[in-house]
Structure formats: C-alpha cells, structure tokens
Amino acid sequence: MLRVKGKMRQENQDFSLHQSLEEVVKGLGFSLVELTVARHRGSAQIKAVIYKAGCSISTDDCTRVHRAVTPRLELVFTGSDINLEVSSPGIDRLIKDSSEFIHYKGRGIRCYRTDITEWTAGILETADEKGINIKTTDGIIRLDFDIIAKAKLDSSQEV
C-alpha cells in the first residue's frame, strides 16, 4: 500500500530536518518532494528531490538548492562527512508517499488499484489527506489512498 503522510516518517529528527530544509527550498521557488537520510559510520548520505510546477529542473537549479541547504546540514551533522544529492523527480517517478501528490497537480499519473487490480491513468486534478481525483477519458475518478497500491508519474498522459 502507498505510504500515508506521517505514518512512515523515520525519526522525529529527520522530520524536523525535512521541515527545516523545506523552508529553504521553498524560498528558492521549489518544493521538497522527498528527503532521505542514511547515516553510516560518521557520514550522512542525504538525497533531496525537488520540484517546481510547470518547469523542468535543471542542473543549475539542483546546484542552487545544494548550496542553500548545505549550511543547515553541516549544523545538524557536525563532524560528519556529508554527501548530498539533489535531483528532480524524473518523468516516471514512483510516488512513495501520499504527501507527494499535492506537488503533481496537473501532471499525468498512473495508479494501480487494489479494488479492481488494474491501472487507472489520467491527469491529477486534486489531492487531499484522504485521496486524489484523476481526470480520465471517462471523466473524473476519485481514488482513496487505501485502494492505491502503487502510483507513479506518467508522462504519456500529459499534453
């Protein structure tokens, strides 16, 4: 099943780090879609996925975000080697958490449903805490998160 926001957060520290970095990323005009932190023997591997509606993310955008968030990471991981990777979601990103949907309004999306065991594809119209609305060729379909087993961006659905 698709993870629901808040239920699969690793630790309170990682969640507060996400919130702190989200402020910086928002200040640059982007959304922080995902933040993954892995600690191992005095080092921290951090992956940040950024997004901006209606725009493709360039390497310059990733560099700007990298430079802006690095000082905060250095404060949190004092004395650790920090390896930060900043990237875009990619055109066919696997959506890992229900909180991601809000970022992709107007984008093509494909969801594997447990109620009918097949994929439903269309354009994401809205997202809230309980589910999403997808505009399909048959009209708008409401999908609650409890019936979405897997979801991903689908560039073939976009005009």
Cβ-contact 145, 130 below 8 angstroms: yes
pTM of the model: 0.80
**How many angstroms from the chain centroid is the CA of residue 8?**
14
The number of helix segments (H) and strand segments (E) in the chain equals: 2, 9
Average pLDDT over residues 2-9: 46
Secondary structure of residue 27 in the 3-state scheme? helix
Q: What is the DSSP letter of 13?
A: H
Residue pLDDT, tens place only, 35-85: 999 988 889 999 999 999 888 899 999 999 999 999 999 999 988 899 999
> CA-to-CA distance for 20 and 16, rounded, in angstroms?
6
Helix (H) or strand (E) segment spanning residue 61: helix 59-76
